[in-house]
Structure 1
Amino acid sequence: MKTHTLLAALVLALSPVVAGASGPAPPVPAASATAELVPTGPAAPSEPVPAAPPEPAGWSWPLSPEPAVLRAFEPPPKPWLRGHRGVDLAATSFGAPVTAPASGTVSFVGVVVDRPVITLDHGNGLKSSFEPVQSELVKGAYVAEGGSLGTVLPGHCATSPCVHWGVRRGEDYVNPLAFVMDLRPSVLLPPLDPAPG
């Protein structure tokens, strides 16, 4: 509709010149900012372009030195089923410091069932939770990457000191190791041709 109005205005503005009428033609009204534009470039692709595989986030390990993974991420096939929604990391000892893998704000600190838990909101929908961790921090406290979250307590890996680390993106649990390691599959390249000669 707006295109027809613009064309009609142009015809009316040029009609005295076309008809041979004397006198200057009235000014042509400028196209409004809301006028419909007709695309002149190539058409948009009809098929969605597949997303590139996610890059590692470059976070730090929450334990030092780099811990062994005692139990891997094993998400359940359905959200309500049993699974392992994080990773268990070996700590050097009970009382070992647990640090923030990325900067964030404490969104929860307290006891869940029978274990002390601390949750850090990293922004962009990402949250890390650690248990069993004794912490003196309070909800709303900002912690920089590498800053202290608390210390490892007994209660998760039988008699071994360990920390359960879970990461959520929104409501979905994701593999925490993807934030500290490159988990993309290795690609085998063909052998190089030997140099001639």
Structure 2
Amino acid sequence: MTLLKALMAAVAALTVVATTAMTPAPVNPHWSWPLSPKPAVLRTFDPPDKPWLSGHRGVDLGPTPDGGPVTAPSDGVVTFVGVVVDRPVVTIDHGDGLKSSFEPVSSELKAGDTVRKGQVMGTVEPGHCNSAACLHWGVRRGEDYVNPLGLVEDMRPSVLLPLH
């Protein structure tokens, strides 16, 4: 009888693990896509191995028409609006160490302005993607770049579980 109880307890524990593994992680409800409708990802996040190496420290979204609206993906405070190298950039501090940047985006906002999730903060300008207008969205946590898609999509890999 003890072996049967142990087996039943093991099956119950596996059921809990399997159910938990199949439950998707909730997407952060405080974040949304900066373009609407949900855009295609034209280039994925590909951070460099070392901070000084080349890489892609964000994602390119689109295609989007020049002048298309860009919305704040989460509440925050604008920390920068200006030109970096040859592109107009907007940066927002979202708190909890998270800052997002958008380029090429022209905006009437100024450093210190508060933005709310979904608020139009500027418009896409030409100049980032070669053949189609697109938006580059980067997110940093402190000094480390993170994949912005992880804030709006479930990025966990699919896991297949046994039938028995």
> Shared fold by TM > 0.5?
yes
User: What's the CA shift for 1:55?
Assistant: 5.8
* Partner residue, 2:42: 70
For residues 40-59 of structure 1, what are the structure 2 equivalents within 5 Å? 56-58=27-29, 59=31
Q: TM-score if structure 2 supplies the norm length?
A: 0.82
Any idea what the Cα deviations from partners look like across 1:95-116, whole Å, max 9, x if unmatched? 0000000010001000000000
Greater shift after overlay, 56-65 or 108-117? 56-65
Structure 1 stretches (4+) deviating beyond 3 angstroms?
none
For the 8 Å contact 1:106–1:120, the answer to whether it is kept is yes
For residues 44-193 of structure 1, what are the structure 2 equivalents within 5 Å? 56-58=27-29, 59-191=31-163
**Bigger relative contact order, structure 1 or 2, given CA contacts below 8 A and separation 6+?**
2
Q: Of Structure 1 and Structure 2, which has the larger fraction of its residues in helix?
A: 2
CA distance in 1, matches of 2:84, 2:27: 30
Bigger CA radius of gyration: 1
Unaligned runs of 5+ in 2: 1-24
For the 8 Å contact 1:91–1:152, the answer to whether it is kept is no
**Alignment: residue pair count:** 139
Question: Secondary structure of 1:84's match?
Answer: coil
User: What's the CA shift for 1:137?
Assistant: 0.3
Structure 2 counterpart of 1:137, which letter?
A: L
Structure 1 counterpart of 2:152, which letter?
A: V
Q: State the Cα RMSD in Å.
A: 1.3
